[in-house]
Amino acid sequence: PNETETIVVVTGNVRAWRHFIEMRASAHSEVEIRALAVRVFLCLRVLEPILFGDYKIEALPDGTFSVATATPKV
């Protein structure tokens, strides 16, 4: 069924995680995947601040958040 809780393990290199954040934490993505991508970003920024420190969280008019960077595709 839709939105059934499950446990998932995902791996990726830095480039893959940056791509995921740029695509799925953008203001243009759907709310559910954007919420997940923002949480992933927050975890990665704590673990690797140099690699993910260029991203900024932006509040959207609907009360959700997005993540953006001035230097995409590094």
User: The domain spanning residue 33 has which CATH number?
Assistant: 3.30.70.3180
Work out the pLDDT band at 66, boundaries 50, 70, 90.
very high
* CB 34 within 8 Å of CB 24: yes
**Catalytic residue chosen out of the listed positions 18, 24, 34, 45:** 24
Q: Tell me, what's the pLDDT at 64?
A: 97
Domain-located, residue 24: yes
Domain-located, residue 3: no
The predicted-structure confidence for 28-52, as pLDDT tens digits, reads as follows 999 999 999 999 999 999 999 999 9
Active site residue 39: no
Domain-located, residue 4: no
Q: Where are the alpha helices (DSSP H) in 1-74?
A: 14-24, 31-47, 49-52
Q: Which domain range does residue 40 map to?
A: 14-69
Q: For residue 36, with 0-12 CB atoms within 10 Å meaning exposed, 13-18 middle and 19 or more buried, which class applies?
A: middle
**Structural domain count of the chain:** 1
Provide the whole-model pTM: 0.87
Domain-located, residue 28: yes
